Structures are given as C-alpha cells and as structure tokens.
Amino acid sequence: MTLRDQVAQLVFIAFHGEAPHSRSREFRNFLRLIRETKVGGLILNNASNGRVIQKAEPYAVAAFLNRLQRISKVPLLVGGDFERGASMRVDGTTVFPHAMAFGATGDPALARFEGEVTAREARALGVHWIYYPVADVNNNPDNPIINIRSFGENPQQVSAFVKAFIEGAHADKRNFVLTTAKHFPGHGDTAVDTHMNLATLTADRERLERLELVPFRAAIDAGVDSIMTAHIAVPALGPADLPATLSPAILTDLLRKQLGFKGLVITDALGMGGVQAFGAGEIAVRALEAGADTLLMPADADTAIKAVVAAVESGRLTRRRIEESAIRILAAKERLGLDRKRFVDVEAIGDTVAAPEAIERAQEIADRAVTLVRNTGELIPLAAPDRACFVVMAEGRYSAGGQSFTQEVHKRQPRAALAAVDPSMTRQALDDAVGKLPGCDSYVVAAFASVSAGRGTVSLAGDLPHVVETLVASHKPVALIALGNPYLLRSFPEVAGYLATFSNVPPSEIAAVKALWGEIPIHGRLPVTIPGLANPGDGIQLSATRTGGTAQ
C-alpha cells in the first residue's frame, strides 16, 4: 500500500442503509470514496427527514453492503452503534431496551444473551463491528447524552454487564463481531452533550481509578476488541481544553501503556461539536498523534486524509505510526474472515433476524426491568383501570413513542379515556386536550424522555411539565411512568406513583402497561440514585395480580 492508501484505511464514512440509484450523486460519492479514495470502512447511521429518524431495512442494508464490498479492492470493515441490538439502526430486527433497563434487572446473563443476538443479526446484515457496550458510569443525573445508555452508576455492576455483553458477542465464532467499550475514559459524570460542545470531567486521578476506569479495565480483561474515545476534557490527565480523543496522555500513556490495551482505538465521530474547534484536517492529525487507530466520520474524508499524509511528509507524524494503525485495521479484517468471505447471503436474513425466541426474550428483559419507585395508596397496579385517565406524552410531534402504549391500553380497556400530547403543542392546546378527559378517579402519565444527540437535555420539553403539574394540582392520584430518563421524579416529586422502564422502545411500553394491569410481577431495582428521593437498589416488589391482555 502507498502511504495514502494506508491513511485511507483508517477512515470510516457514514451510510444510511438504503440503496441509492447508481446514477445518483450520493452513489457516485460512495463510488469515489471507496474505489478512488479507498476508505477502510463504513458506519451505519440513521437517516432523518428533519422530522423523524428513518431506520434502514434489513435486506436493503445487506444488498447495499454487498454492492459496496464488490467495488472495494480491500474488504470494507462495517460498524454500527447497535446499543439496543441491531434495532437501534435497522427495522425488522430484535428490539432490546436500553442498557439501564438491563441494569435494573440485576442479571448480567441477559446482557450476554443480547450480545449473542446482536452478533448474529449484525453479521447477517454485513455489519462486523459493534460500537457497544457503553462502559460509562452514569453517576450524574443531569447527563444529557449518556443517561439510560449506561448500565448504571455502580462501577462494579456496570463492569459485570459490560463483561457479559462482550462474552455473548464473542460466543459464536461463526458470527464473531468486534466489540467496543465506550466512551473512554468515562463520559458518565458530565452535563454537556458532546455532539454540541466539549464536556469536562472534573474528577481527580484517584476518583478515576475507583470509578470511571473500572468498567474499561473489566472490558480489557474480557477481551474487548476496541475502545472508543470521548470528546471530553479531563484536567486530571491532560490540558483542560483538550478532548480525550486528541490527548496523547489519555490514549497512549493511560490506555496503551498503563492499562495495557492492545486492540483498536476508535475515535467518536469527528464531526461532533466536542472537537470542532480544531478543523477537519487538524482533528485527524491530532487524533493519530494521540494514539487513535481509526478516524470515525470526519467532516471531510478527503481533507482528513490529505492532512495526515502532509503531516507524515513534513515529519510531524511518522510512517511507522500510520503503519501500526493500518496493520491493526487489516488484521481485524482478516480476523473477521473478510479476506475469505466479504459478502452476505441476503436470502438467509429472514431466518436470522427477529427470531421468535429472541423477540420473546427481549420482551421478558423489558418486563423484568420495570421498577416501582413510589406507590402511595397502592395506586399500582390500577385497582379500577376503567376509571383511570391516561395522558401519553410523546417526545415530538412525529414521534412513534406512545403508539404501543396506547394500543396496549386499548386492548385491555377499549373505551379508555386517553389524551396524546407533545411538546409542539401550545399551553392552551395542552389544557384543552387534558380538559376533554372525562371525570377520572386517577391519572396515568406515560412520559417519554430519552437521550437524543443535539438536544442537550432529557427533561420533558415544551409545556409538558405544566400538564403534569396541573394533574397533580387536581388532588387526584397521579402515576407517572418514566419511559426513558429515570430521573424525571426530581421534577415532579408530588406524584403518588412512579414507575420506571429505563427505555422508550415498544417492549418497554408494553411492559409498562402490563405492570399497570398487574399482569407481571414488578421486581426491578434502581441502578442509579434519584437525588433526595431514591437510592440504588430501591424498588417496591409486587407479585402479579391478573392474567394478561383481555379487554375489560
């Protein structure tokens, strides 16, 4: 390989899974980047039309990847942020809840199962590199981007789940995938979304050793294949304004030398706000100087490659430094068997993804995660569902969140009084929607609030908090269900009942309704602290009181 070819192997570009027309500008750009620029790999991201996130379809992903693999001289290494299994990016695959839901179950064996299924489904699609598990310890309730993506706030518990997922993903050698612990050296105790700006972790070295670094050490011991960097500054380890992604003290001195990590070091996306102060070319050079092996989603792949080549030619970077990373990438491709088989069998996808037993087990995980934090007056399960009113708070006007919850309520109570609201509505429109509900003995508020890149918060948006406050002021009991952010109770401490699912996926919506109707036992326990209100391990334990699913 030429120097430029070696540098290009370190670059990973985004694709959305659909198959653009071969005469489209989009496809011609892929053709150029793969055939001429010779990038080393791809990352599957969701497309967006400005209103809703659009996930890919399994057969389209596989067919498109086969097509790109056929174009590339060197096999492409394909990755994806499959944090909830492949379902995070691809429809028609097994839908798992967020990591914190697993933490609430207290059972790492469930994460091991998720690892097995994720590996199997990923390889069926043509994806080889899973950017998971999240090894961040979420001990900051105001963290706007980690939150339920973390297994919890206890470093030992997080370590157990991280280790289990890696073991599961590595269990079947026929479906072997690369795993990734992220975001090094720990993104849990920050209050800034690094998609928007640079965050700072203010912990001292002693705290880092006993908390943030613990799950990463466990991941390394478990044989994790790669570690993803965080766009956060850590003054205890390096300059106060330098992201870890660009810090030799963090990636080389700490990760390589002190922790002894031998695998791939991958940057977080280089187009994020947390590193944008440096410019596309300089970011790429600094990341490699720091010790990264791959450049994930640079703002401009050609600019990044040109800058790195120039840095080598000027002596700023050595040729050996580039060769070390290129060899790691090529060795990973060989380990995955891509030198022998780079294409996937599209016809076999239907019998691989979304297996009935996997879907059933994923629902069981969501059921087991449900945690009852408060239950004044034994409000949950609902003694008289026919006299309760339901308010479903979606995260956006076009969000699908709440559809499964609504369907499940109507299955059991066809004439249920239900209002659907969202943050785009004016206060008057919200008052009107809730005011149309008939006389209710109690209220159930299903509040969707999950992490989203670029949003900067996981609180209820718009005037939705006003709705909850109005219902509480009615002096009728209110059960608040947090479908996502478990810390919502801090904003509404007066509610009579509080139930957390730690995820906003459909299985968690279904689990919440089953818990309201008493159809499942409630055995979940909080994996985090809700400051001043609840402690880790809290969770009211209830037995099931009804059989499920029938209309009343």
Q: Are residues 335 and 395 in the same domain?
A: no
Per-residue pLDDT tens over the stretch 466-525 = 999 999 999 999 999 999 999 999 999 999 999 999 999 999 999 999 999 999 999 999
Secondary structure of residue 12 in the 3-state scheme: strand
Determine the average pLDDT of the residues in 12-29. Answer: 92
In a domain, 63, yes or no: yes
End-to-end CA distance of the chain: 70
Check if the beta carbon of residue 183 is closer than 8 Å to that of residue 195: no
422 lies in which domain range? 370-516
Number of other residues whose CB lies within 10 A of the CB of residue 469 = 14
CATH number at residue 418: 3.40.50.1700
Supply φ then ψ for residue 83, to 5 degrees: -75, -20
Section 72-89 average pLDDT = 97
Place of tokens 């850590």: 234
pLDDT interval class at 115 (50, 70, 90): very high
- 325 and 471 share one domain: no
Per-residue burial over 343-374, b = 16 or more CB atoms within 10 Å of its CB, e = otherwise = ebebeebeebbbeeebbebbbbbbbbbbbbbb
Cis peptide preceding 20, ω within 30 of 0: no
> Are the CB atoms for 231 and 268 separated by under 8 Å?
yes
DSSP, res 527: S
CATH number at residue 200: 3.20.20.300
Q: Measured between alpha carbons, how far is 427 from 338 in angstroms, rounded to an integer?
A: 56
Backbone phi, psi, residue 250, to 5°: -90, -45
pLDDT tens string 365-385:
999 999 999 999 999 999 999
436 plus 344 within the same structural domain = no
CA distance 144 to 190: 8
Mean pLDDT of 33-60: 90
Per residue in 91-104, pLDDT (tens digit) is 999 999 999 999 99
For residues 210 and 85, state if they share a domain.
yes
Whether residue 453 has pLDDT greater than 80? no
Asked whether 109 and 164 are in contact (CB, 8 A), the reply is yes
Residue of higher predicted confidence among 354 and 52: 354
The total of structural domains in the chain comes to 2
Contacts of 522 (CB under 8 A, 6+ apart): 370, 371, 372, 380, 499, 515, 539, 540, 541, 542
Q: Spell out the residues 6+ positions from residue 189 whose beta carbon is closer than 8 angstroms to its own.
A: 137, 139, 140, 143, 201, 202, 203, 211, 212
Q: Are residues 327 and 374 in the same domain?
A: no
Helices H / strands E in the chain, number of each: 17, 19
Q: Which residue has the tokens 């730690």?
A: 502
For residues 217 and 273, membership in a common domain is answered with yes
* Whether residue 292 is found in the same domain as residue 378: no
Per-residue confidence (pLDDT) for residue 20, from 0 to 100 = 86
- The reply to whether 548 falls in a domain is no
The residue to which tokens 């037995």 are assigned: 543
Are 70 and 103 members of one domain?
Answer: yes
- The H or E element containing residue 404 is helix 403-412
Claim to verify: residue 89 and residue 203 sit in the same structural domain: yes
Specify if 391 maps to a domain: yes
The one-letter amino acid code at 173 reads: K
**Is 542 within a domain?**
no
Q: Are residues 156 and 282 in the same domain?
A: yes
DSSP character string of 420-460: EE-TTS-HHHHHHHHHTS---SEEEEEEEE---TTT---SP
Looking at residue 552, its pLDDT comes to 39
The DSSP element (H or E) to which 284 belongs, if any, is helix 280-290
Which run of H or E residues covers position 59? helix 58-71
Q: Rounded to an integer, what distance in angstroms lies between the CA atom of residue 362 and that of residue 518? A: 20
Are residue 387 and residue 313 in the same domain, yes or no? no
In this structure, are residues 54 and 117 in contact, taking their beta carbons and an 8 Å threshold?
Answer: no
Q: Does one domain contain both 307 and 394?
A: no
Q: Which residue numbers are catalytic?
A: 195, 268
Indicate the pairing of strand 129-130 with strand 199-200.
unpaired
Distance CA 505, CA 403 (A): 10
pLDDT band for 548, please (50, 70, 90 cuts). Answer: low
* Other CB atoms within 10 A of residue 450 CB: 20
What are the tens digits of pLDDT across the range 300-346? 999 999 999 999 999 999 999 999 999 999 999 999 999 999 999 99
